[in-house]
Amino acid sequence: MINLFQDESGDCSFSANSLCRNFLITVLSISPSDAEKLKRLLKRRIAFFISKGWPKDKEPKAFALNKDIRFGQAAICNILKTLVTIPTLGINYIVVNKAEITNQSFISAPYGTAYNYFTGILLSEMIFQDNMRDVHLICNTRNKETHTKRHFQEYLKTKIYGMALENNVNVNIVIKGEYSHKCYGLLAADYFSWAIFRKFERDDDSFFKLFENKLSRRREWYIKK
């Protein structure tokens, strides 16, 4: 079995009011044997933050750390450098430049369609090209993109099991929602997602370079080189 932790940055809205040029989905992969190490590393960092004044009841996500002058970008860099030492950690992402999508049918589709579609692309490549056959995908319960009304789980399972049929292979995928303040894998995904998003949204690759050689899969749609 392999554990996958999914996070996103930006938004998949094509509304003129959207403040983001890009939309990003990040999926971390890690073997169960290293899950405890990831938890231990992050618990140690969080304990350090608390000792320096971070509120115990506030989740130390990348966005919040970056805004706090006591911690800032140095704290995020330290976390990223620590996490990339985990042997089986893989970092996968798909980023989309929304302005370059001009198909009106896709743009006008119900909200969440884009999220489902691009998540399906990334996950299906990971599962079938990287020979993942027993997958446990954990998403953030608070993520508005994966609300049950948008049939996120049903879409992904239909796509994955359909491809398993086409390729005549056996695949098992379990999809579960968790709260990131209770799941260290989701918190780790948040840090990498924040760093990758800065590269495309703000043209700042300083964080991205810290783990670029650890990337397992990078998919860039309509991104000009």
Q: Distances from the Cα of 177 to the Cαs of 135, 168, 201, in angstroms?
A: 14, 29, 27
CB 38 within 8 A of CB 86: yes
Exposed, middle or buried by CB within 10 Å (0-12, 13-18, 19+), for 150? middle
Domain ranges of the chain: 2-34+90-221
CB 132 within 8 A of CB 2: yes
Please report which helix (H) or strand (E) contains residue 25, including its range.
strand 22-30
Question: Could you read off the pLDDT of 74-111 as tens digits, one per residue?
Answer: 999 999 999 999 999 999 999 999 999 999 999 999 88
- Predicted pLDDT of residue 67: 94
**Residue that is written with structure tokens 């999508």 in the block:** 101
Nearest-5° Cα angle at 31, 27 to 35? 90
Task: Specify the CATH number for 2-34+90-221; select among 3.40.50.150, 3.40.50.80, 3.50.50.60, 3.30.420.10.
Answer: 3.30.420.10
Using CA atoms, how far apart are residues 13 and 19, in angstroms rounded to an integer?
Answer: 10
Percent of the chain with pLDDT over 90: 84
pTM of the model: 0.94
- Predicted pLDDT of residue 225: 56
- Amino acid, res. 205: D
Distance of CA 191 to the CA centre of its chain: 9
Question: Could you read off the pLDDT of 14-42 as tens digits, one per residue?
Answer: 988 888 999 999 999 999 999 999 999 99
- Predicted pLDDT of residue 181: 84
Please report which helix (H) or strand (E) contains residue 77, including its range.
helix 72-83
150 pLDDT band, cuts 50/70/90, is low
DSSP state of 206: T
- Predicted pLDDT of residue 16: 84
145 pLDDT band, cuts 50/70/90, is low
- Rounded to 10°, the helix 113-129/152-167 angle is 30
In this prediction, residues 44-59 reach a mean pLDDT of 95
Which two three-digit tokens encode residue 122?
A: 């990334």
Please say if the pLDDT value at position 164 is more than 80: yes
Q: 178: which strand partners? A: 140
In this prediction, residues 61-76 reach a mean pLDDT of 95
Please say if the pLDDT value at position 223 is more than 90: no
